[in-house]
Structure 1
Amino acid sequence: MDRIDKRFSGKGMPLGPLVYLSILTVTCLHFVAVGGQISSTSPLMQSVDASNYSVQKAFSIEDVLAQYSGKSTRPNEKTGRPDDVYCALTEINLDAVDETKMEFRITATLGLAWADPRIQSLLPANSDTIYSIRGADIDRIWLPDLYFPLLKDGDFHKITSTNRVVRVSKHLYPGVFYNIRLTLTQSCHMKLSNFPFDSQKCDTLISTFSYDDGELKLHWMYSQLIETGSGIQLNLPQFSQPTVKATDFTVEEIYQAQESVQFNVTYTILNFSICLHRLGGFFVLTDMLTSIILSFLSWLNYWLDPDQAPARISLGITTVLAAITQASNASKRGLPELSYITALDVWLTANVNVTIIGLAEYGLVHVLAVRARRLEERLERLTKDKYKQRMAGQPPQDEETSFVLCRRGRTAPKDTDEGQLISQAAVRYRQWAKRIDQGMRVAVPSFLVVFVAAYVSTYTIYWNGDECAQ
């Protein structure tokens, strides 16, 4: 600096402070330029710039929803072509079947798929990403207005959040996929004539509420039967593993706008049938086995002596009352008030009648036994009277007005021995009573064997078919 001062001072120019200021200014500018180059070439700064650039250029489904404006119209509303909606029921759980209310409850995931070019065209052209729409944003796009015609009660799953999602893809067909978890309680018209060996077919109908067949067509997905064939879960031990069947049909409704103006509207309806086959082992062990045991107990009544009235009457009345009470309780178990009889009613009625017949049979046998006993008592009195007359030396006298000697309006000859006739009548009544008991000993078990064979062949073989095969 001294040299510089001397150089400038030699010329007579007092510029020392100005030189210092100039040198300082040049130095600062140099360091600023070098620092800018360093910062621009730093890897850290490059990553920050790239991140900022990616944030600015990133794609969000919110951008699509902001530009989407077709919530109130279907995708092909302007073209006039019908929209195809593909449906599937997966992850099905059969939770309950109520015969009294004629309803059943399932929990399933309803899957829908359709094409919507209005939202697919807003996705990046070269992106294979599947974008998801969740929560309240789902209500911002068009959804098919499906409903269940047989629905009595239903609910969305909301734990821990609403279980529904929409996925949108530009390259996957058809493009928009909607999944929602539902619990459906639906009516099921049950035919209980074959109860408790019956098979029931409960249908889940899916249709559109406001779109006819010319605007929206429903189809089952190709994998519907494959997924439901092994995916259904049964939570009811009284039924065997159900079979399923997916079909579709159309229905035509006639609307009358005025007295002379009518128009027809056709709707597509999808039908998903669940066929249930009841396992009747519980009813066999608790109701049917008990009733047939009571029938066998009444059968033992035929082995008792007709003169043992207290034993036979007690056994007969006990079995009849027990059978009636058991049949009344069993017929009301889990069934509505039907206007027709069921297979269980047939079984219980037959066994109750067997016990009643046993009690009625003893009434007839008892009448015969009483008549025989009265004749035997009369014969005993007659014998005693003849003995007294012989001891007194009087000739024996016969009572011609006796009901034993008078038969069919004719009187027996005078020389007929009254005691012999009474004895023969008493023996004849005893034989009739004994023959009736002997016949019932064979008839009752024979009837039960034939009845059981006919019952099994009728209700468990002939009528126990697959409802889904029809």
Structure 2
Amino acid sequence: MHRVLHGVHEHLELFSTNDSATRADWEKWRTGKAVPRDYEKESSPSTRDGNVEVIYTVAVLEVGPLSEADSNMTVTVEYSMAWVDNRLAELTSHVTPVSSTLLWVPPVAFGKTVRRVAHIKDDKKDNSTINLWLQRQGIMFYKLTRKLELICPPSLEEYPFDDHKCSIELHGYGGVVFPFRQPSKYYKAKPIQVDMTAVTSQYEMTGLKLSSRVAPFNQHIATDCVMFEANCTYPANDCPLMKGCSDESDECYGCKHFMGTCSYMSAADQCSNTSSGMSTLEIQLSFSRRRWSHVFHTFVPSVVIVGCSWISFWLHPRDVTARVQLCVTAILALITMAGNRKEHGITVVRAEDVWMCGGVLIVTFALFETVTVNSILSGNFFMPSFCKRRRPRVEPTPGPSTAWADDEETTETPSPETADKIDFFSRILFPITFTVFVAGFFLHYLG
């Protein structure tokens, strides 16, 4: 059956309703004249075990951006399904378009992560209203293309170093099961492929997981039985740069039908009584946020701003106005950069917020250092004994005693050398402290 299905798939790529014979067949099936009188659309094809095996391939045609405000993401998915309906065998001599409204198709429904479903028409061909075909041996080929609006709540605690996963579930009813068919020399169709040129999200796709399982309606009997899993990893590539390319080049074709490196696991023999449960075909998309824009728009500018605030340590301690203005400007610039989080309605503490807070604290301490140095020079700052300069003690000469003589002997004056020492050590300690903070930050969020 797999070899026949592969031939049907190749034939459909060349299908066009411009052929007069094909148009005549389509009119017969569309009006119901070619449908057998005893055919019942509500009844599924008869099988020995009551299961209708639906062979399939899945193509992710487009991935839109993820809204961090309402957790919505748009994904366009095409399910290509095939099954055998013996009731329609020998009714045609070639692949013929038939009406999906008059014949049995697998009863399926999307899972709860799908918020809205929109039908997609194929603008490349004239058969935009045809999505079901019949082969001579009774093999049905069905295409289901939908634009889905998904609910994918992102976890922003590690923003912009966050990874994300989004699932699409397709439930099958009435004995429909989705068995696993690993690609072989007879059945070359891959179970999953992605048009990497149509991934326009702020995330890049790093992998995909395709799984099929059967869950009994009575949850007290058993748990879900996994029939198969296919795990695909997507290495870094130049496909996002191929937007708008033509299928004529091999590189463009490979990006539009990207499959990655896949590993397969099948356990269909361990699942029993699949006809009395609900089968689920799940696609789990794995994303990693594109970080280079954040590096150049957030991290590099903030490092430059913090570094510029250290110029105050090289100015003369008495240039208070210039030193204060430099630190205050740096603080305001960092606060302005961190203020864009309110535009998205984000309330969680993100990694980016921790980064900005660390930068603001470093610059604030630099401002306190300027205030400290200026207070020392003006004599209004409480200084420890080792930072004070005492006048040499001189023995008093005989003479009349005065009340202010002893105070004059112990007078302590601030030294400009103390302020210079504080500036000198600040030039070393502040860069070291900020370097330790940066190293700990990236080790925590990227380690």
- Name the TM-score class by shorter chain: 0.5 to 0.7
Ranges in structure 2 where 5+ consecutive residues have no aligned partner? 1-26, 221-275, 384-398
Is 1:74 aligned with 2:44?
Answer: yes
Task: Quote the offset at 1:446 in angstroms.
Answer: 0.7
Cα distance change of structure 1 residues 180 and 434 upon mapping to structure 2, 3 Å threshold:
same
- Asked if structure 1 preserves the Cα contact closer than 8 Å seen for 2:160 and 2:289, the reply is yes
Q: Distance in 1 between matches of 2:148 and 2:442?
A: 36
- After superposition, the Cα gap between the structure-2 partners of 1:433 and 1:372, relative to the gap in structure 1 and judged at 3 Å, is farther
The question of 1:422 aligning with 2:411 is answered yes
Kept in 2, the 8 Å contact 1:70–1:118? The answer is: no
- Counterpart in 2 of 1:55? none
Per-residue Cα deviation, 1:52-71 (whole angstroms, up to 9, x for no partner)? xxxxxxx9655441425321
Structure 2 residue aligned with 1:270: 281
Q: 1:153 is matched with which residue?
A: 116
Amino acid at match of 2:61: I
1:275 to partner: Cα distance: 1.7
On the 8 A contact 2:167/2:282 being kept in 1, the answer is yes
Give the Å deviation of 1:178. Answer: 0.4
CA distance in 2, matches of 1:324, 1:272: 41
| Distance (Å, rounded) in 1 between the aligned partners of 2:298 and 2:371 | 28
Kindly name which structure, 1 or 2, has the bigger radius of gyration based on alpha carbons. Answer: 1
Q: CA deviation at 1:162?
A: 4.0
1:455 aligned partner: 441
SS at match of 1:319: helix
Q: Kindly indicate whether the alpha-carbon contact (under 8 Å) linking 1:68 and 1:118 is maintained by their aligned counterparts in 2.
A: no
Matches within 5 A, 1:293-332: 293-329=304-340, 331-332=341-342
Contact 1:165-1:179 within 8 A present in 2 as well: yes
Shift of 1:205: 1.2
Label 1:336 to 1:66 Cα distance change in 2 as closer, same or farther (>3 A). farther
TM-score (ref. length: structure 2)? 0.67
Q: CA offset at residue 310 of structure 1? A: 1.7
Give deviations 1:116-135, integer Å, cap 9, x for gaps.
Answer: 22222x526xx4x22221xx
- Aligned 8 A contact 2:54 2:178 in 1: yes
Q: Distance in 1 between matches of 2:307 and 2:409?
A: 40
Q: Matched residues in 2 for 1:158 and 1:374: separation? A: 79
Deviation at 1:169, TM superposition (A): 1.8
Find 2:68's aligned residue among 92, 96, 99: 99
| SS of residue in 1 equivalent to 2:70 | coil
Describe how 1:13-412 pairs up with structure 2 within 5 A: 61=29, 62-67=32-37, 69-76=39-46, 81-90=50-59, 92-120=61-89, 123=91, 127=93, 129-133=94-98, 137-149=99-111, 150-158=113-121, 162-171=128-137, 175-208=139-172, 210-211=173-174, 215-223=175-183, 226=190, 228-229=192-193, 231-236=195-200, 238-251=202-215, 266-329=277-340, 331-332=341-342, 335-339=344-348, 341-371=349-379, 397-399=402-404
Contiguous gaps of at least 5 residues in structure 1? 1-58, 257-264, 376-393, 401-413, 463-470
Change beyond 3 A, Cα 1:92–1:374 = closer
Cα deviation, 1:349-406, whole Å, max 9, x if unaligned, reads 111111112222323333333326999xxxxxxxxxxxxxxxxxx9684527xxxxxx
Farther off after superposition, 237-246 or 442-451: 237-246
Aligned to 2:230: none
Residue type of the alignment partner of 2:445 = Y
> Relative to structure 1, is the Cα distance of residues 83 and 369 closer, same or farther in structure 2, using a 3 angstrom cutoff?
same
CA 1:96–1:372 in structure 2 vs 1: closer, same or farther (change >3 Å)? Answer: closer
* Alpha-carbon shift at residue 207 of structure 1 (Å): 0.9
Q: How many aligned residue pairs are there?
A: 343
CA RMSD of aligned residues (A): 3.4
Counterpart of 1:138 in 2: which secondary structure? coil
CA contact (8 A) 1:96 1:106 kept: no
SS in 1 for 2:46: coil
Relative to structure 1, the CA distance from residue 225 to residue 327 in structure 2 (aligned partners, 3 Å threshold; closer, same or farther) is farther
Higher helix share: 1
- Secondary structure of the residue that 1:219 maps to in structure 2? coil
Distance 2:121 2:198 in 1: 23
Q: Distance in 2 between matches of 1:106 and 1:88?
A: 16
| 1:421 partner amino acid | T
434-443 vs 198-207, which deviates more?
Answer: 434-443
